[in-house]
A and B are shown apart, each in its own frame.
Chain A
Amino acid sequence: MDVIANLGLGFAVALTLQNIAYCFLGVLLGTVIGVLPGIGPVTTVAMLLPISFTLQPESALILLAGIYYGAQYGGSTTAILVNIPGEASSVVTTIDGHQMALKGRAGPALGIAALASFFAGCVSTLLITFAAPPLAAIALQFGPAEYFSLMVCGLIAAVVLAHGSLVKAIAMVVLGLLLGLVGTDVNSGARRFNFGMTGLADGIEFVALSMAIYGIAEVICNLEKKLATSVVSDAVGRVWPSVADLKYCAGSILRGTGLGAILGVLPGGGALLASFAAYTLEKNVAKPPRQFGQGDIRGVAAPEAANNAGAQTSFIPMLTLGIPGNPTMAMMIGALMVHGIAPGPRVMTDRPGLFWGLIASMWLGNLMLVILNLPMVGVWVRLLRVPYRLLYPAIIVFCCIGVYIINSKPFDAFVMAFFAVFGYIALKLDCEPAPLILGFVLGPMMEENLRRALLISRGDPMVFLEEPISLAFLIVAAGLLLVLAAPAIRVKREEALKE
């Protein structure tokens, strides 16, 4: 069996002492920042990118991945105990989770959240194991025309599934693509958009851009919001849910896992979308009596399973196609590229140790997370007493040192300051930064594939419509746009009603 041999290789990589340590560090950091409101996995991954460059690529990805799925566990703790989502993806967990806590059932709520996440994590790791190789095999057959259309489709889907205005999101994607082109053009050697600044000869540093937006601009926005620190009771009680609770939740956990796993694979998906969708599904299909909103344990189990499943399956398109579905995945791609690994279907065949090692580490990391979260929940709760005014200068300090150490180039600090101001303005104008980051990562690849496709077809743009796979991607993209353009108002109204 190929799968067993592959997993064997993966565990051989993941179980080296060094990688176990990085996996542990990743999930530990993930838990901590998951618990803390005001600092999320995207920010943390961005802040750790420069450090990960000093590691082996395997260790770097294991560390960064641990942060992302670790945050899904930590986020639920804050959601249940303080009614503040530690992470955006645990927003829905606050609804029933905190009600349970008020009724003295905080322990079982935390327990079911961790166990549901663990179950979902194991299942989605298996799913990646089986789904990734065939997908990569298909992707290996793609020519430049297919790739270009796939990227268009991926970007459009990411935009459609993101919340907010469609036009603004498309504009942000296009702006991201443009920013990605700054620097020396690989084909002609022409220096583009450097405006006479030698610092821009190699383009805009990805780390500077992502830390500016997700680190510094977000800090400035948070400073206005006044994050409330509420009082937490230390009495959590027994965290292991009873057998009856487990039985009661089994269906919800299964549904949450399935839905989360599917939504995670889609561009624009991932943990956030998965948790919302799972909660909505649960409200409609769970066996009565439904007491959602008043502390129904299934309202905790389903979204928590879904956000972890979604977090992990979102690695599938990133690893097999080289297409990031969300900003965190864009940063993983950035990490790969700095290590000189071209993201795409070849990663699996050229660097099997990296690919399978990462997957094996996810299973290991999930196991560590259950151990970290259940018995030690009291420790994490105490973290909530750290006020934001002590936290944010640390974020800024980390971003500044980080941006400097990548290239030892002080100029990157100026780039970061510029995009921090831009990011703040964009956030104020309700322009989501996620599409910009996705566009930025894909910009050069998209230009290269467009160029090659049109070179082969001698400049005939019909090539994108004549190749069947390429046509299919474009039809999906156009379909998504049409679907969203029509009921845009309705979607907005629904969102407003939810709040």
Chain B
Amino acid sequence: MAIRAPKDFWAGVMFCGFAAIGILAAKGYSLGSAGKMGPGYFPLLLGIVLAAMGVILIARSVVVEGERVSRFHILPLVIIATAVCLFGLMIEPLGLVASLAVLTVLSAWAGARFRLLETVALTLVLIAFSIGVFVYALGLPLNIWPSL
């Protein structure tokens, strides 16, 4: 059997995956009955519906012709996701300046054209702006410099 609609097929696989996680986890919680629902009841119900949708998508994708999945641009995705995680790791111990510098430079690097001077300028502007808005104007308790 050939997959005729790759977009639908992979979407179906994704939904089935989520449904499997949902159903397996829901089985760990007490189910209760319809009249006295436990924490597992509604999630299990949703998991089954989601799985059904996933199966329909997969079944349809081998029958009906559909679109191909366009190329994944892995690099920008990975760089930006990593940058966001790094921000989460750095913000408390190292403060705004350091974490924003890393975040901005990495984000700019994920784009098509990287220009050093422009990125440095942009980083400085964004750091100054963020400190002005969040720390001074809104008075939020954010570390500016590394806390020692």
| A450 CA to B57 CA, complexed, in Å | 28
Chain B at the A interface: SS class: helix
**Is B126 on the interface with A (CB-CB < 8 A)?**
yes
Whether the pair B46, A174 counts as a contact (CB closer than 8 A) is: yes
Contact partner of A405 (CB less than 8 A), chosen from B67, B70, B83, B142, is B142
A390 touches B122 (CB 8 A): yes
Residues of B contacting A371 with CB < 8 Å?
none
- Interface of chain A residues 397 through 447 with chain B (CB within 8 A): 397, 399-401, 404-405, 408, 410-414, 416-417, 420-421, 424-426, 428-431, 446-447
Interface string of B26-49 (1 = CB under 8 A from A): 100110011111110111001101
B140 pairs with A454, CB closer than 8 A: no
Determine if A457 is an interface residue (Cβ-Cβ < 8 Å): yes
Q: Does B134 lie within 8 Å of A405, measured CB to CB?
A: yes
Interface residue? B117 (CB, 8 A)? no
When each residue 383-399 of chain A gets 1 if its CB lies under 8 Å from chain B and 0 otherwise, what string results?
00000011011101101
Write the B1-32 contact mask toward A (1 if CB under 8 angstroms, else 0): 00000011011001100100010011001100
Q: Separation in Å of the A163 CB from the closest CB of chain B? A: 14
Please pick, from A187, A412, A420, A431, the residue contacting B81 in the complex, using a CB distance under 8 A.
A420
Q: For residue A178, which residues in chain B have a CB less than 8 angstroms away from its CB?
A: 18, 22, 43, 46-47, 50
Is B111 located at the chain interface by the 8 A CB criterion? yes
Chain A residues lying within 8 Å of B92, measured Cβ to Cβ, are 410
User: Which A156-190 residues sit within 8 Å CB-CB of chain B?
Assistant: 165, 167-168, 170-171, 174-175, 177-178, 181, 185, 187-188, 190
Whether A193 lies near B25 (C-beta < 8 A) is yes
Q: In the docked arrangement, what's the CA distance between A394 and B43, Å?
A: 38
- B148 to A: closest C-beta gap in Å: 18
Known: A220-B80, A459-B36. A428 touches B140 (CB 8 A): no
The main secondary structure of chain A at its interface with chain B is: helix
Given the complex of chains A and B, what is the CA–CA distance between A170 and B36 in angstroms? Answer: 27
Number of A positions contacting B (CB below 8 A): 65
Whether A404 and B11, one on each chain, are in contact in the complex, defined by CB atoms closer than 8 angstroms, is no
The answer to whether A413 touches B88, judged by C-beta atoms less than 8 angstroms apart, is: yes
- Note all chain A residues with C-beta closer than 8 A to B87: 400, 404, 413
Whether a CB of chain B sits under 8 angstroms from the CB of A223 is yes
Whether A126 sits at the interface, judged by CB under 8 Å, is no
Q: Is the CB of A54 within 8 A of B88?
A: no
Asked whether A375 is an interface residue with its Cβ less than 8 Å from the other chain, the reply is no
Q: How far is the CA of A425 from the CA of B8 in the complex (A)?
A: 12
Q: State the CA gap A451–B35 with chains docked (Å).
A: 8
Given A177-B46, A454-B37, decide whether A404 and B112 contact each other with a Cβ distance below 8 A. Answer: no
- A178→B130 CA distance, assembly (Å): 35
- When the two chains form their complex, are residues A223 and B29 in contact, meaning their CB atoms are under 8 A apart? no
Contact A165 B8 (CB under 8 A): yes
Instruction: For B134, list chain A residues within 8 Å (CB).
Output: 401, 405
Distance to closest chain A CB from B86 (angstroms)? 9
Known: A397-B103, A430-B11. A417 touches B81 (CB 8 A): yes
Assess the A430–B67 pair: CB atoms within 8 A.
yes
Chain A minimum-CB-distance residue to B10: A429
With A397-B126, A447-B42 known as contacts, the answer to whether A459 contacts B140 (CB < 8 A) is no
Contacts A54-B140, A389-B111, A459-B33: A188 and B39 contacting too (C-beta < 8 A)? Answer: yes
A175–B87 Cα distance when bound, in Å, is 28
Q: B142 near A220 (CB under 8 angstroms)?
A: no
Instruction: Say yes or no: A393-B122 contact (C-beta < 8 A), given A171-B15, A416-B84.
Output: yes
Contact B73 A400 (CB under 8 A): no
Q: Given A178-B43, A397-B126, A223–B76 Cβ distance below 8 Å? A: yes
B124 at interface by CB-CB < 8 Å:
no
Partner of A51, one of B14, B67, B138: B138
Specify which chain A residues have a CB less than 8 angstroms from the CB of B60 in the assembled complex. 167
Closest to B57 in A: A167
Binary per-residue interface labels of chain B (80-121) against chain A in the complex, 1 for a CB within 8 Å, 0 otherwise: 111111011101100010001001100110111100001000
| A309 interface residue per 8 A CB criterion | no
Proximity bits, A178-211, B CB within 8 Å = 1, else 0: 1001000101101011010000000000000000
A399 to B91, CA, bound (A): 13
Query: With A168-B57, A185-B39 as given contacts, are A393 and B126 in contact (CB-CB < 8 Å)?
Result: yes
Q: In the complex, are the beta carbons of B73 and A224 less than 8 A apart?
A: yes
Contact A428 B70 (CB under 8 A): yes
Q: How far is the CA of A170 from the CA of B34 in the complex (A)?
A: 23
**Contact yes or no, B80 A216, CB < 8 A:** yes
A21 within 8 A of B: no
Q: Does A192 contact B29, Cβ atoms closer than 8 Å?
A: yes
Kindly identify which residue among B8, B38, B83 contacts A396, using a CB–CB cutoff of 8 Å: B83
Cβ of B56 within 8 Å of any chain A Cβ, yes or no, is: yes
A421 touches B81 (CB 8 A): yes
A461: CB under 8 A from chain B? yes
User: Is B69 interfacial (CB-CB < 8 Å)?
Assistant: yes
Check: A455 CB closer than 8 A to any chain B CB: yes
Partner of A392, one of B42, B91, B111: B111
Question: Interface centre among A171, A188, A216, by most B CB within 10 Å?
Answer: A171
User: CA separation between A430 and B36, bound complex, in Å?
Assistant: 38
Tell me the nearest residue of chain A to B139, going by C-beta: A54
Q: Is the CB of A167 within 8 A of B53?
A: yes
User: 4 tightest A-B contacts by CB?
Assistant: A459-B35, A413-B88, A459-B34, A171-B53
**16 A–B contact pairs at CB < 8 A?**
A171-B54, A174-B50, A175-B15, A178-B18, A181-B46, A188-B30, A394-B122, A396-B84, A396-B103, A396-B104, A396-B107, A401-B134, A413-B85, A420-B84, A429-B7, A460-B35
